[in-house]
Amino acid sequence: MRYTNHDQNPSAIFFNVASDYETAKETCASHSETLLSCHQFSELNEQFSYQKYLGNLGANQLLWSSCSSTKPTSQDGILSKAGKSAKYPFLCTNSAPLVKDVYTDFSSFPRASTTVNGTSFEGLRDHMALRFIGIPFAKPPVKDLRFKYAENWEGTNVQATNYSNGCLQYGWFEGDGYGLNPWGNSEDCLYLNVYTSTIPDSPSDDSKLKPVMFWFYGGGQTTGTASDSTFDGASIWVQKYIRGFGGNPTNVTIFGQSAGGGSCIDLVTSPKTSGLFSGAIQQSAGRGHDTVPDTAAALILPYIDKYCYGVNGTGEARLKCLQDLPAETLLNITYSEVTSWQSIVDGIYVPDIPMSQVAKGKAYINPVKLTSTFMPEEAQSLLETLLSPDMTNFTANLWTLEEDGQISADQVAEILESNLWLITNETIPNNGSTTYPNVYNASINVATDAQLACFSGQYAALGTFVAAFDPVWVGVHQRGYGLSYYDYYDLCTFPVGEPETPYYRCHSSDLYEIFGTYYLFDLPVRVPEDIYYTNAVQDMWTSFARTGNPNVNKEYLKARSYNTTIKFFENWEWPQFEMWDQAAASIQWLQGGYTTLPSLRHCKVIVPDLTL
């Protein structure tokens, strides 16, 4: 992909329906387009190659073009001989504009539509894809539906041409102060977006449908929105409707990052999601966010009583009081008092703490194909400005982390006693210790291990040991690009043209690279390798969605002319993570490498004291 000039990439609409010339011409006109000129066919060689790989085009398949009403065109753009009444597939022009930034006005974009299970959806066509945005997947959770299980949305017509509100929240997506959320905030926020390249003529044949990747955004379960352009990215809704958008409901991969990765963990271990997906990619998923009802009640009841004082009767009465409160009152509690909301082990949707549920084996979870990935210095951005890079006292930093709830007092003692985090530039004997050039680096490593890496590594190892997942793939990104609004001290990226400059691979610095959305935020490509890395990562993620294996089929890469990813895999492959060989991929351009679970020795110190 050429991320700096998407609008210069050739684009056309392929109708794989045998039609006579007049019908082909009329079909293009109905979409406010014309038949594509035969002189433009040569620009689409890679696309023709891919369609042949899929079996949608024969090697010598002819197509209608605007060059002749009586002679179809070869894939090389050469006119052939055939009767005017003969029927062939055809290409139309695609004059739809490129979505260039967060503030794109979609009012002039051409429309696209599909109907499935009696419901019609009207969406948009842009330069690269079809997008159906702002689709309700549940009834608005307001008034009597607040604090209740979501109820299915029912309707027959959906205008999916504008992004929806983000949920009520504080932070980066509260309004548009950071240039991220021009769509506003509302309690009515249960919407999803579908991006697709294909609307099937007949959605009944699953073999012709495409794998589905179902994204869960992060944000600590308190911030974020499905409309975030970073992810220019209901499971029951997918099963019911996704065929109409060209997606295969029998091949769904859920994936998410940070709290979104934690949501994937909860879904994998929930009996309510059986059969809804077959794969999961957990990016920086951390230790999960589950707590038990009594603990949650003890935390929140003082604030409920503050606003519903005197409601000492039934649970129904207390619920009615909470439903009648202004939404802003509840939001203020979140901001000033209860700053995090955790999944509850309710015995219905969440039967047990995730690690305990996985330990029971595949009969007690959804035994999906699993990929788990990390960033090396997750905590640098997660901690925001809690620690200063100028600090020189490691012990003081540990107690600061303890006061903030990042680690426990017992962990502080064991970390100091272990002598595994050494601040020195000197070479030391290989006794399991790791050296760090400064206190800040060592402190970031402690918080990364405690909050994310150790739990996720243990989760993958345990799942492999009890054969809960098959297969398992583990990877560590060695390249990052910090989010523009989440780069404290400007340390999560390197300057343009200076890739050798040391920087932190921070939490969330894999997102621009996975979704390729640098350009929507006017961020520069620092070096060409940024593009090659993004290409490779996207190819591995989509390969996993197709096949359960991130090692991309070489014939597929050749068919698509994905030459940089072909080079990426020339002397490397992503190793499968197995009980007897816990190898992980070290992901970097040009050459990937191999590593083990993050900070294995460190985790032996930290994990025994992890608390939920």
Distance, CA of 327 to CA of 185 (rounded, Å): 11
How far apart (Å, rounded) are the C-alpha atoms in residues 4 and 230?
16
Task: Please tell me the distance from the alpha carbon of residue 322 to that of residue 326, in angstroms, as a whole number.
Answer: 9
Say how far apart CA 265 and CA 382 lie, in whole Å: 20
Query: Which of these, 535, 518, 482, 565, lies nearest to 4 by C-alpha position?
Result: 518
Q: Please list the alpha-helical segments (H only) found in 55-96.
A: none
Q: Are 213 and 246 in contact (CB under 8 A)?
A: no
- What's the CA gap between 48 and 61, in Å, rounded? 10
Q: Can you state the percent helix, strand and coil of the chain, rounding each to 5?
A: 35, 15, 45
Q: Scan for tokens 């607040």, then name that residue.
A: 146
d(CA 280, CA 286): 15
Q: How far is CA 253 from CA 211, 219, 268, 440, 512, in A?
A: 8, 20, 11, 37, 20
Cα–Cα distance between 345 and 172 in angstroms, integer?
Answer: 29
**Spatial contact of 305 and 318, defined as CB atoms under 8 Å apart:** no
| Sheet strands (E) in 464-546 | 472-477
59, amino acid identity: A
Judge whether 543 and 551 are in contact, CB under 8 Å. yes
In the set 258, 263, 284, 543, the catalytic residue is 258
Residues 280, 370 contacting (CB under 8 angstroms): yes
The torsion angles phi and psi of 344, rounded to 5 degrees, stand at -105, 130
What is the C-alpha separation between 581 and 595, in angstroms, rounded?
11
Is 197:130 a contact under the CB 8 Å cutoff? yes
DSSP state of 573: -
Q: What is the spatial distance between Cα 428 and Cα 424, in angstroms, rounded to a whole number?
A: 9
DSSP string, 269-330: T-GGGTTS-SEEEEES-TT--EE-HHHHHHHHHHHHHHHSTT--S-HHHHHHHHHHS-HHHH
Report CA dihedral (97, 100, 101, 103) to the nearest 10 degrees: -20
Half-sphere exposure of 120 (CA within 13 A, CB side): 5
Whether 197 is catalytic is no
- The structure tokens 């951005």 sit at 381
Tell the residue number behind the tokens 């608005």, with chain if given: 140
Reduce the DSSP state of residue 397 to 3 states and report it. helix
Q: Using DSSP bridges, classify how beta strands 472-477 and 369-374 pair: parallel, antiparallel or unpaired.
A: parallel
How far is CA 62 from each of CA 67, 76, 77, rounded to the nearest angstrom? 13, 10, 9
| Tokens describing residue 107 | 């009012």
DSSP letter at 230 equals G
Report the catalytic residues: 258
